[in-house]
Structure 1
């Protein structure tokens, strides 16, 4: 399966390529004063408001720097009125084919939103899936609707 491999600090994560619409360079975001931790603003993407979540803040407690290599990964999230969310990451390494058979349990209890790991070199890539990677309080703060409700 194809994955978009991104970095948050020194750690590598894999987003299923089927969920990724585009990878954008860092852009100025409209801040959301009083927003829940992790939700860093909204992006004007082709006239549409797209909420942006900082995975560095969620996973490591540190804001992703506004740097040349920082990226916003636009992902499809069924159940959001906007249909997508932006995921702010330190950089994107590219698209990699990773065998489903290579993913194994991390061997310890971790945040349930993070999936299995795949060994790569001397380290691991950890699989994440949307929307489960977004904490409940972030999902609740987004323009979320229940399945079956008219958008």
Structure 2
């Protein structure tokens, strides 16, 4: 399977490339008041607002550094209502891909309750890399808050049948 590799500080992580719609440069984000600390804001992507989370803030309680290689990964995120929404995720050094099979990622043997998205760990020539389960990045409550506007936009269509 093809994986997109990114960094949080000196640590490497990977997500399934098939879950990524596009990788875009950092853009100016609209602040979302009272959102979780790792919610960086939202931006307009092809006419639709997309919420963006900062993976450095989520993983290490610090914002991602402003580097040329810091990018927004646009991820397909499955919501509880069955719809797939776009979620932006800022990460550092989003510059490479790798091939790996799921079996190569061994259970880390550690379960972090605040990090259910952290998957197994694999080793390659550059060292250790941890798999991130993008479908588990947001707690259900945060996902509901971030995607409430798009769910409301779907309501009239559903009513029309």
> With structure 2 as the length reference, what TM-score do the two structures score?
0.82
**Could you list the per-position Cα deviations for residues 95-145 of structure 1 after superposition, in whole angstroms to 9, with x for gaps in the alignment?**
211122211011222332211111123631111122202234432321156
For residues 101 and 17 of structure 1, the distance between their equivalents in structure 2, rounded to whole angstroms, comes to 17
Deviation at 1:65, TM superposition (A): 2.0
Q: Which residue of 1 aligns with 2:38?
A: 38
Give the helix-richer structure, 1 or 2: 2
RMSD: 2.1
Higher RCO (C-alpha 8 Å, min separation 6): 1
Query: Computing the radius of gyration over CA atoms, which structure comes out larger, 1 or 2?
Result: 2
For residues 94 and 12 of structure 1, the distance between their equivalents in structure 2, rounded to whole angstroms, comes to 11
Q: Which residue of 2 aligns with 1:16?
A: 16
For residues 58 and 116 of structure 1, the distance between their equivalents in structure 2, rounded to whole angstroms, comes to 18
For residues 2 and 88 of structure 1, the distance between their equivalents in structure 2, rounded to whole angstroms, comes to 20
Q: Any stretches of 5+ residues in structure 1 without a counterpart?
A: none
Q: Any stretches of 5+ residues in structure 2 without a counterpart?
A: none
| SS at structure 1 position matched to 2:57 | helix
For residues 6 and 137 of structure 2, the distance between their equivalents in structure 1, rounded to whole angstroms, comes to 14
Q: How many residues in Structure 1 have an aligned counterpart in Structure 2?
A: 148
